[in-house]
Structure formats: structure tokens, C-alpha cells
Structure 1
Amino acid sequence: MIKEVLIVEGKMDVVAIGKAVEADCIITEGFNLKPRTLKNIEEAAKRRGIIILTDPDSAGERIRKFLAKRFPTAKHAFVPREEATAAGDIGIEQASPESIRRALETVRTLGWASSERFTSKDLIQNGLSGGANASARRAHLGARLGLGFANAKTFLLRLNHYGVTREEFEQALTEMEMEEEDGR
């Protein structure tokens, strides 16, 4: 049983999570966050802590940002977009139990004080920004680091605010590049 309460968007997300782990969930019903739902999330955050696990799409990201501002101690889990897509639909309900478990194993806590450990130069030098394959590389690295898919600006923000160390970054890059070489 996961100690924290998972915050998800819909009923089918709860079904998918139930196939992966034993956890209590609160459903946001998309961005339709009713006062009662926010009160329930607030109580869960105080008593047990919360993990935000929204869909890896733009709507899920808007919900995540809103909740992260309102609940700054929340933890964040990300299922990679490619692991949460089926039949043209993107969402946690599309993710396999293994993908959900991996996301929950790499939970991150947002720190509002930026470490400025990483700069846009790091992204450019490592093919994560400005190149033809940059988006795919960010998605792959984001999955390895538990940061999810993001554009370059958001990816840099997550690197600096979610406690990623230089060592973690370098190791994930090395592993990713070894996989890319093996795939050629």
C-alpha cells in the first residue's frame, strides 16, 4: 500500500492504478476541480501526503501546475507519453501496470528554490534542445529521470526544481546514448 494518496484525473485512471499498486486515489475530474475535491486533496496532503499523477498531455500538465502551486509539498510521478498512449488516446488509464509502478518508483518533489544546476547550454550540448531529435531525446531522458515529457523550457525547469543531480543526469545520458548506439 502506498502511503500517499494519488491525485488522478478520472475513474479509469483509478482502475489502471489498481492493476499496478494498492493505493488510495482522489479524482480531479479533469480541470473541473470542485471545492469539495480541493478540500479532500488538502486533507490528504496534511494527513498522508499526495502524489500528483496526471495524464502526460497538455491538460494534465495544466492540472499538475495548478495543484503544485496550491500544494507545494506534493510529490510528482510521471508516466512517459509513449507508455500512456493507446488507440490515439493519451492518459494514465492507457498505461501498463509496469509503467505506473516505474513512475511511482521515481517520484520527485518539486523544490521552489531553483538550484540553477543546469542551463540551456546543457540541453543544447546534449542534443536535448535545438536539434532535429531533441524532443525524442528529452522524452527518453525524462522517462529515465522520472521527469516526464516536456518542451525544452519546462524540461530545464524540472531538472533544476525536482532535485536531479548532475551525476543522475550524466548517468541517464550515458545509458540513453548506449541504448541509441545498440539500436543502430
Structure 2
Amino acid sequence: MTDTRPKLREVVVVEGLHDKARVDEAVDAEVLILGGDRVSRRTVDLLRRAVQARGAIVLTDPDGAGERIRRRLDQLVPGLLHAHVRKSKAASSRGVGIEHASAEDVRQALIEARGAKPGPVADGSEAPDVFTLDDLVRHRLVHHPDAASRREQLGEWLSIGYGNAKAFLHKLNAYGVTREEFEAAVRRLDG
């Protein structure tokens, strides 16, 4: 019997053992289990080496704790890729988590993983953000009754996950979403 799962070069980082089991169903990849929200020095060192050698994809639960872990890892390990599974696709009667998502949803999220934008430009200054609060206002992603659901849908289509207005704006800029990708997704949403 042949293995039909796609093979990933990158190491996949998950929170727990059940998350690893779901990733193993979805793809053929090395998986690193964090084992909670504390990130040890050893884990940071492993991740830094992995990013340099072959890349690493963070796949945390679509909840507050998962987002905190994701932000912490980004601070400690530059160059990580991020995969997001929509909260509604990772929910069951037992809770919210990657282990509750289908293997297909996990596979798709990993394939669509995005990296953070590069650091400072040659002169040491930060590259300007592509998106501003005006973009969110203009496209009814803030200060609108449907703003939260619109951000949720766009976050899924752009593979950056959900966030409140401030977090969503950060993700648009941090994960390298282009103006063209954003405008196409907004047209799809409004279509």
C-alpha cells in the first residue's frame, strides 16, 4: 500500500499529542510537540535549527492560548511559517482544537502556510506596512455590524486566521499578504 499523504519538508509544530495524530493523518512530516504553552530553551534551539535547515510551520489551536503560543514563538524564532485552521472547522462537542479538525482541513492549512514578512530593509529601517486601518474601514472589516464575520471569512481565504481588527491588521502585514490577494479576496466576499 502506498502512502498518498503529501510529504512536507518543514517541521510542523503543534501543541499536543492529539494534534500530532491529526497532522500525521494529513501529511507525512516531522512533528514537534510543544506540550503546553511554555516554550523551553531546548525547543527554541530546535526550532531555530529547523528554520535554518528546512523550515518550520506553526499549527496551533484556533483559540486564545494558541494565538499566544504563536506570538511567543514568533518573538523567539524568526522565520517561522504559520498555518491556520478556521475555528468552526476545528470545533466539536468536546472543544476547539486541531485534533477536532478533519485531516483534509489540516492538510490544506499546512499547504497554505504563510511566513512573516522580512525584517528591516538594507538601511535598517522597517519596511512600511502595506495595509492600514483605512483599508479595514473601507472594506467593512471594522466599525460595521458584519465586520467580525467578514474578517473571519477573509482570514480563512487568505490563510492568516481570524483576529480582532488590530490582530487582523497585524496579520495582513506580518504574513506577507499582497494588495492583489487582499483585493481579490474582498471582491470574492462582496460578490
CA RMSD across the alignment: 1.4
Summarize the alignment of residues 82-101 of structure 1 with structure 2, pairs less than 5 Å apart.
Answer: 82-87=88-93, 89-101=95-107
The equivalent position to 2:24 in structure 1, one of 18, 39, 54, is 18
Q: State whether residues 114 and 161 of structure 1, in contact with CA within 8 Å, keep that contact through their aligned partners in structure 2.
A: no
Moved more, 35-44 or 139-148: 35-44
Cα offset, 1:114, TM superposition: 4.9
Q: Which amino acid in structure 2 is aligned with residue 156 of structure 1?
A: L
> For structure 2, which runs of at least 5 residues remain unmatched after alignment?
1-6, 120-125
- Which secondary structure state, in structure 2, belongs to the residue aligned with residue 26 of structure 1? strand
Q: Which runs of at least 4 in structure 1 moved beyond 3 Å after TM superposition?
A: 112-115
The equivalent position to 1:104 in structure 2, one of 100, 110, 114, is 110
Whole-Å Cα distance in 2 between the matches of residues 128 and 110 of structure 1? 22
The equivalent position to 1:143 in structure 2, one of 156, 162, 165, is 156
Cα offset, 1:130, TM superposition: 1.2
Q: Which amino acid in structure 1 is aligned with residue 178 of structure 2?
A: T
Structure 2 vs 1, CA of residues 160 and 115 (structure 1 numbering), >3 Å: closer, same or farther? farther
Whole-Å Cα distance in 2 between the matches of residues 63 and 109 of structure 1? 16
Alignment deviations for residues 36-83 of structure 1 (CA, whole Å, 9 cap, x no partner): 333332332232211111111110111101111111111111111111
Cα offset, 1:97, TM superposition: 1.4
The residue aligned with 1:133 is: 146
User: Is the helix fraction higher in 1 or 2?
Assistant: 1
Q: TM-score, with normalisation over the residues of structure 2?
A: 0.87
The equivalent position to 1:73 in structure 2, one of 58, 65, 79, is 79
Cα offset, 1:35, TM superposition: 3.2
Percent identical among aligned pairs is 41
The residue aligned with 1:2 is: 8
The residue aligned with 2:182 is: 169
